[in-house]
């Protein structure tokens, strides 16, 4: 997949009115269990029409254990879970899915597996054209964007490209952290790393999602949900902070 598969000059070309995304910064919030902090949002997002969710555990090595963790949690919310790694034909599994959930872990491993199984265009088509719900957490949120260039992960494997599924025309940095003014750590802050990314030409905006925050995308509407804020970085512009409940629909107008 190339950048031109995602965007063309001056416009966002996908059939966006059917798009429904829940992009979560983190799967586990300090002091709570797996997906506990966002379970009410998940239930509202998936609703009553979805009965089964297709889970993509490619970001972790132990896929069986990961799928079982997700299965137990979604079961408490009233949903059955099928894991794509158990399917004999992953593309067919995507084509038959009622909803897709891509979990967190290592973003490079995840994207490589999506490329290896020829799933990027299929997931993109099902979400943007057929309108099935897409939920991502951490790495699963990263791959929903333009590219994984703003992930926090180490490149433990090498995908064919950093270009991702492209369900939105901007990038996200999950687990975003502010710099601690009392820290003696001398490495770059998260904000400095994103600033370095924007030193390159033609780089999209980056939304730093603090842990506990998530984006709800419905058609052309984008809303910041959760208990924490987000910070938006645009090339050549000062960073702007947003509180939960903020309307971020303008992000879908990226050139």
Comparing CA positions, the residue from 252, 237, 56 lying closest to residue 146 is 252
Note if 118 is an active site residue: no
Note if 175 is an active site residue: yes
d(CA 54, CA 75): 13
**Long-range Cβ contact pairs of 246-249 (< 8 A, separation 24 or more):** 247/221, 247/222, 247/223, 248/207, 248/215, 248/222, 248/223, 248/224, 249/220, 249/221, 249/222
Give the helix ranges, DSSP H, for 50-119: 63-76, 90-96, 107-116
Alpha carbon 8 to chain centroid, angstroms: 22
d(CA 240, CA 242): 7
Q: Which of 85, 175, 198, 246 is catalytic?
A: 175
Map residue 144 onto helix, strand or coil: coil
Note if 137 is an active site residue: no
Phi/psi of residue 248, each to 5°? -115, 30
Q: Which of 14, 27, 138, 213 is catalytic?
A: 138
Beta strand 134-137 with 171-176 is unpaired
Q: Which of 25, 27, 149, 153 is catalytic?
A: 153
Comparing CA positions, the residue from 151, 135, 167 lying closest to residue 70 is 135
Catalytic positions, written as ranges:
138, 153, 175
């Amino acid at each position: 997949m190339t950048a031109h598969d995602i965007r063309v000059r001056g416009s966002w070309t996908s059939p966006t009115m059917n798009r429904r995304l829940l992009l979560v910064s983190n799967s586990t919030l300090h002091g709570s269990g797996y997906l506990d902090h966002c379970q009410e949002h998940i239930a509202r997002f998936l609703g009553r029409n979805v009965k089964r969710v297709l889970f993509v555990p490619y970001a972790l090595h132990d896929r069986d254990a990961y799928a079982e963790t997700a299965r137990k949690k979604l079961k408490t919310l009233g949903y059955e879970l099928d894991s794509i790694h158990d399917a004999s034909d992953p593309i067919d599994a995507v084509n038959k899915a009622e909803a897709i959930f891509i979990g967190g872990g290592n973003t490079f491993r995840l994207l490589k597996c999506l490329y290896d199984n020829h799933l990027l265009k299929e997931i993109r088509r099902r979400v943007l054209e057929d309108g099935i719900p897409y939920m991502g957490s951490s790495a699963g949120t990263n791959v929903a964007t333009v590219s994984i260039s703003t992930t926090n992960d180490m490149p433990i494997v090498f995908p064919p490209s950093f270009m991702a599924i492209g369900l939105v025309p901007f990038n996200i940095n999950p687990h975003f952290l502010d710099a601690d003014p009392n820290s003696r750590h001398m490495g770059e802050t998260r904000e400095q790393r994103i600033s370095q990314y924007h030193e390159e030409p033609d780089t999209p905006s980056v939304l730093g999602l603090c842990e506990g925050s998530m984006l709800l995308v419905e058609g052309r509407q984008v809303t910041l949900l959760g208990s924490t804020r987000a910070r938006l970085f645009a090339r050549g512009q000062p960073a702007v902070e947003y509180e939960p409940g903020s309307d971020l629909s303008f992000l879908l107008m990226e050139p």
